[in-house]
Structure 1
Amino acid sequence: MKRNLLAIAIPALLVAAGANASIEVWNKDGNKVDFYGRVKAANNITDRGQKDEGDDTSARLGMSGQTQITDSLVGYGRWEYEAKAGKNSDNEVRYAFAGLNFGDLGSFDYGRNDGVLKAITAYTDVLPQFGGDAANNAWNVLSSRTKAVATYRNNNFFGLTDDISFALQYADNGDNSTTEDGIKGNSREAYGANLQWRIFDTGLTAGAGYAQSTQSNTRHNTWAAGLKYENYDLYLGANYFQSKLKRGDTVTVNGIDKDRDLKLRGFELVAQYGIDLEVGRLTPSLAYVQHKLKADSVHDYTGNIHDYESGFNSPVAKYVSLGATYDLNKNFSAIVEYKFNLLDHKDIGADWNTETPRGKHGNKPGTKDVLGVGLIYQF
């Protein structure tokens, strides 16, 4: 029984840390503590004025622990902190949660943790330097790290099969979107769920999830579906998502009142192949990302509202990524990635991707290609 509990608890604690790279600092009398960390020295080279241009150096330090309470009960916790060392030296507590694992009955934890849809959007969040657009944005509900979430997870469908897992989540006062609650302001309640099926021994995993806020007159919801294939050498990932924000008012277009709802749809495709070398392992990566915003009226990046009689359907992200990761060993890697930016200067994504407007069109820097390079040490 203890062995089964540990097999379930340890992956949950170290899902983003890399269990093989962590350092065990304490393991006695059913109590175990691991430390892990990462230093990434990276730079994004592109035309000045574009968002995220320049130094992207950061450092992370984390701790995970567990304690055997009874033969059928394990307590666990995790904390992770990141310090930015680039031009924007922002710091962040990425994870801080604690919970109980009941074996085949599942686990329950509370704190700052990944939103429930992150399990699905993570299928394509594997690029060397960029990517993660479906997870790390202000449009999708419970798809990235968020505060004050209570999460129930079951990774083996109550002990019946290791191929099916699911999760249920409730966010007490916040999700990763920037939309506001009419009563609580920036604080929004939300809930969501996901389901994943590892399809027998084929290497395929299919997943889907749904999340929404609880404010009825400005309800914000997101659903996502994904598919991934993985073996030792080949990794393929795909996901599709759709978010809708009900704004609670209308706009008159050609004499007809229309709901001023905003919709964002997107899909992402990733292919990677690992090649063992005499020293280390090289993994080339190829990806395509496209997200589009559709509305009768839309907020631009300055907060102004523009009405379009013919409607509005514009990309917010559109690019091809070509890159590679070279793992010299499990602790040290070199990364390179070139993002072929396919946005037009008239696309709303070019506005959002511009930090310092320049040029004839003002937002033109947001359409430039980006080269990302870096070195990573982790333990």
Structure 2
Amino acid sequence: MKKTLLATAIAGAMVVSASASAATVYNQDGTKLDLYGNIQMVYANVNDENGDSQDAIDDNGSTFGFAAEHAITSDVTGYLKLEFDDFKADEMKTAGRDSGDQAYVGAKGSFGDVRLGSYDQLIDDWIQDPITNNEYFDASDSTYDRTNDNNVGGARETDKVTYTSPSFGGLQFAVGTQYKGSNETENTTDSGKASFFGGAKYTAGAFSLAAVYDNLDTFDVTTDPESDFGDQYGVTAQYTMGALRVAAKYEQFDDGSDAKNDVDFTALSARYGYGMGDVYGAVQEVSYDEDGKDDRTEVIVGGTYNISSAMYTYVEVASYDANEDAYDGVATGITYLF
């Protein structure tokens, strides 16, 4: 479900190289292949939409992946990443893997990085993750809000091409599009449709500032009746002081319907590495323009403990301030990664 430290290190890097925990199985004649993965098990007790407590032992996103690269020229490297999840490690005998996670191909060099395939949204990597890229509970955002209906799931991560520039004195930008052709089953138009997304990030020492916009045009319906799904955008600032990282975010889902039920997300978070793990927390104000929908204050706190260099455990507690205390809960789990 959530990115582990290993998955974050590999997915977030502009160069596709495995972390120290991954296994290099081939590295010869300019070609390298790494294998990596994890098993994530969690016990979670979470309130359902009616406020009733529900608990279970679950797979929390166990993953197996391949990362490969080879030298095309002295300045250009081609790469791929293929990652599988949804193994349902808690019920392997009764339910197998039925979906993938990320799969893309690209090239990188002094010109920057270009990739094509399925991978996390730019607004996820640059805006949302610095606030709560946690183990089980995350703050709501313009991509996934538990109490709202502006969610389209993993479809936002597919059929994309992105160009990310090199850093120019600390300034970096990215632009891309998601294209849904007329033969796509999730296409909501009567022909092919392309979106636009883009962002900029500035880093100066321990400080960074990022802004991202996505017009989400591939989710607009152009057939009868026509509808504008809406846009999303956000700004996040981060500052690191030794083992402490603090971040602040403003994000909005700009509703494109006639109702104009925009949702604003304003958050503060902190994460501190105490030597054997991290302690972290976030508070977020969620404001709705929709009549009859109350604003909410989300609070999430947690901590990890490193059992070894390849295994850690954690505890998280979340309050989403929803009706009937829906979605509030506690989770504890263990992750083994390589």
For residues 55 and 292 of structure 1, do their structure 2 counterparts lie closer, same or farther at Cα, with a shift above 3 Å needed? Answer: farther
**Structure 2: gaps (5+ residues):** 1-10
TM-fit CA distance, 1:98: 0.2
Task: Give unpaired runs (5+ residues) of structure 1.
Answer: 1-8, 248-258, 296-310, 346-363
The structure 2 residue matched to 1:67, chosen from 62, 66, 70, is: 70
* Counterparts of 1:327 and 1:135, CA distance in 2: 32
User: In the alignment, residue 207 of structure 1 is paired with which amino acid?
Assistant: A
After superposition, the CA RMSD in angstroms is: 3.1
1:322 is matched with which residue? 301
Shift of 1:237: 1.7
Q: Which residue of 2 aligns with 1:35?
A: 35
Contact 2:235 2:249 in 1 (8 A): yes
3-state DSSP of counterpart to 2:14: helix
Tell me whether 317-326 or 145-154 shows the greater mean CA deviation: 317-326
1:125 is displaced (CA, Å) by 2.7
Choose which of 282, 287, 293 in structure 1 pairs with 2:277: 282
What aligned pairs does 1:360-371 form with structure 2 within 5 A after superposition?
364=324, 366-367=325-326, 369-371=328-330
Residue of structure 2 in register with 1:223 after alignment? 233
* Residue 195 of structure 2: aligned partner: 190
Give how far 1:26 is off.
0.9
Please give the per-residue CA displacement for 1:37-69, whole angstroms capped at 9, x wherever unaligned.
Answer: 011110211346669853331420011111101
8 Å CA contact 2:142–2:263 kept in 1: the answer is no
Distance 1:188 1:91, change over 3 A: farther
| Amino acid of the structure 1 residue aligned with 2:123 | L
Give the structure 2 partner of residue 253 of structure 1: none
Describe the shift of the 1:90–1:237 C-alpha distance in structure 2 as closer, same or farther (beyond 3 A).
farther
Does 2:314 match 1:335? yes
Is residue 41–residue 375 contact of structure 1 (8 Å, CA) maintained in 2? yes
Code of the aligned partner of 1:244: D
Give the letter aligned to residue 326 of structure 1. Answer: Y
Identity between Structure 1 and Structure 2 (%): 18
Q: Verify the 8 A CA contact 1:99 1:107 in the aligned structure 2.
A: yes
- Alignment partner of 2:38: what SS? strand
Aligned to 2:119: 113
- Give the Cα–Cα distance (whole angstroms) in 2 for the partners of residues 371 and 144 of structure 1: 28
Deviations 1:119-171 (A, max 9, x none): 221111333421153265163799996100011011313xxx2x221110100
Measured in 2, the distance between the counterparts of 1:89 and 1:10 equals 27
Aligned residue pair count: 305
Cα contact 2:45–2:53 (8 A) shared by 1 = no
Q: Distance in 2 between matches of 1:208 and 1:51?
A: 38
**Cα distance in 1 for residues equivalent to 2:255 and 2:193:** 13
1:125 is the counterpart of 2:105: no
- Please state if 1:55 is matched with 2:50: no
Contact 1:327 1:334 in 2 (8 A): yes
SS at the partner of 1:123?
helix
- 8 Å Cα contact 1:13-1:64 kept in structure 2: no
Q: What's the CA shift for 1:14? A: 4.7
Match of 1:262 in 2: 261
TM-score (norm 1): 0.72
Q: Deviations over 1:183-235 (max 9, x none)?
A: 46xx8632110111112x2x111100111033485152111000112244111
Alpha-carbon distance, 1:93 to partner:
1.2
Does structure 1 retain, via aligned residues, the 8 Å contact 2:83–2:103?
A: yes
* TM-score of the aligned structures, taking structure 2 as reference length: 0.80
The question of 1:377 aligning with 2:325 is answered no
Q: Call closer, same or farther: CA 1:225–1:152 in 2, change over 3 Å.
A: same
CA deviations over 1:262-290 (Å, ceiling 9, x no partner): 211112221121112xxxx1321121133
Counterparts of 1:326 and 1:144, CA distance in 2: 34
Q: Do the aligned partners of 2:266 and 2:285 also contact (CA within 8 Å) in 1?
A: yes
Q: Describe the shift of the 1:131–1:188 C-alpha distance in structure 2 as closer, same or farther (beyond 3 A).
A: farther
Q: How far apart, in 1, do the equivalents of 2:190 and 2:240 lie?
A: 45
User: What residue in structure 2 maps to residue 294 of structure 1?
Assistant: 289
How far is the alpha carbon of 1:92 from its aligned partner? 2.6
1:341-352 correspondence to structure 2 within 5 Å? 341-343=320-322, 345=323
Amino acid at match of 1:377: Y
Matched-pair contact (CA < 8 Å) for 2:47–2:54: no
Q: 1:167 matched to which residue of 2?
A: 174
Whole-Å separation in 1 of the counterparts to 2:12 and 2:285: 35
Bigger radius of gyration: 1
